[in-house]
Amino acid sequence: MKKNAVRFVCSSCGHAEAKWLGRCPSCGQWNTLTEESVSPREGKKPPSRRTAHQAETLSRIPEDAVKRLDTGIPELNQVLGGGMVPGSSVLIGGQPGIGKSTLLLQVSRSVRCSGTVLYISGEESPRQIAMRARRIGAASDTIKVLCETDVTSLLRHMEAIQPALVVVDSIQTLICEELGPVPGTVNQIKYGSHEVSDWCREHQVPLFLVAHVTKEGSIAGPKVVEHMVDAVLYFEEAEGGIRLLRAMKNRFGPVNELGIFSMEERGLIGVDNPSSLFLQNREGGLPPGAAIAPVYEGSRVLLVEIQALTVPAKSGISRTFADRIDSRRVSRIAAVLEKHVGLRFSDQDLYVNVAGGIRLDEVGIDLPLAVALYSARTGLAAPEGTVFAGEVSLAGEVRPVPQAEMRSRAAEKLGFSARIGPGRDGGDEKGKNLRGLKDTLAELFSAKQN
């Protein structure tokens, strides 16, 4: 192989080409091929430590009860579906400084395991890790810190220590010399993640992997890394030092489960009662353009405030600005209001926000979003003490949403006495049949219009 040879590798699937292409021929993604230098020794095949396995009859494989390992952090246990499963691998991604390393240090200190926790760091020195651990009260004799990036050396240390829990911070620092001298490439990430997770799976040891994220918010590296692991968790940042941990994939539990933490001096602290965390405290009633929605996230209900603002479009071109709600959903609800309610939005700029910074993506926010847009356009405030939940169809119908009873109970606990939205039988709590979005809004705002 020539010196200083280069190739172009797809950052999405890992496919390699000798020349640059605008579209990856393997996965079909555009502008994902990036240039990489190829070392002369990269053509060598990395040593394999895998042992031969025999095929087994599926019906004869014994069924073992899965005994989960308590992480010592209730919010994390909930996101994982009750705790860590022995031999499972969990990938955690998030923006720099959001708290990934802090959370895993707290897990290393609080986990209920009968053995040593091996904390592998390729980005910080042992003294830096010790300083953070003492600050958050996570320093412990049961934690061993190893600052190493070579995969072969890591596996030797893991064989010698035989840890009960392994943390790798981060997978972008793992390197195998046979694959080249540069860490963070697609092949380096794939090989390092596979070897470490395979060792942990064979020895029934839980594994946490920390991953960097791209500017778009997705985990850096090929998607195949997310397919290798058993669970993928994403850290998001909300307002007021709130951190949201969301499960995007989980082979041993529910997906879209949400953990809520508060970043404090002593580390990440789980929020005990998050139902009213995202509600605005104000004197008087709601202003025009605001609506309260009971949002079902995982196994809990959160009450959030959806805010909308409409202003005349500049240069006659209508635009939609929405950070925490998909702008396509906002445009769709505005189109339904214009078609079936007769309220014009095509000449308006639409601004939509969610108080508290939480991202919403469920069908139950259609009705509160419609109420907020209607309120903002007409200048009429929604009734005080009312929450909204319902799916809005393109035909202008309001349809029921899952977990309607749980949403109602959560709203009642916080002092909301009414809920506008269909139940399983197509009616609201008072037994009135909802005939459509137009009739619902007319009934809701009739007193204020008079």
Instruction: Consult the annotation and say whether 379 binds a ligand.
Output: no
- Nearest one of 36, 39, 37, 45 to 1, comparing CA atoms: 39
What are the percentages of helix, strand and coil residues in the chain, rounded to 5?
A: 30, 25, 45
Positive or negative torsion for Cα 131, 137, 140, 143: negative
Q: Could you give the count of Cα atoms lying within 13 Å of 111 in the half-sphere of its Cβ?
A: 32
Instruction: Consult the annotation and say whether 99 binds a ligand.
Output: yes
Positive or negative torsion for Cα 177, 178, 181, 184: negative
Taking the C-alpha atoms of residue 244 and residue 233, their distance in angstroms, rounded to an integer, is 10
Instruction: Consult the annotation and say whether 96 binds a ligand.
Output: yes
Taking the C-alpha atoms of residue 174 and residue 189, their distance in angstroms, rounded to an integer, is 7
Instruction: Consult the annotation and say whether 54 binds a ligand.
Output: no
Taking the chain, what is the end-to-end CA distance rounded to the nearest angstrom?
Answer: 82
Instruction: Consult the annotation and say whether 274 binds a ligand.
Output: no
Number of H helices, E strands in the chain: 11, 20
Alpha carbon 254 to its chain's center: 13
Instruction: Consult the annotation and say whether 29 binds a ligand.
Output: no
Alpha carbon 422 to its chain's center: 29
Instruction: Consult the annotation and say whether 97 binds a ligand.
Output: yes
Which positions make up the binding site for ATP? 94-101
Which positions make up the binding site? 94-101
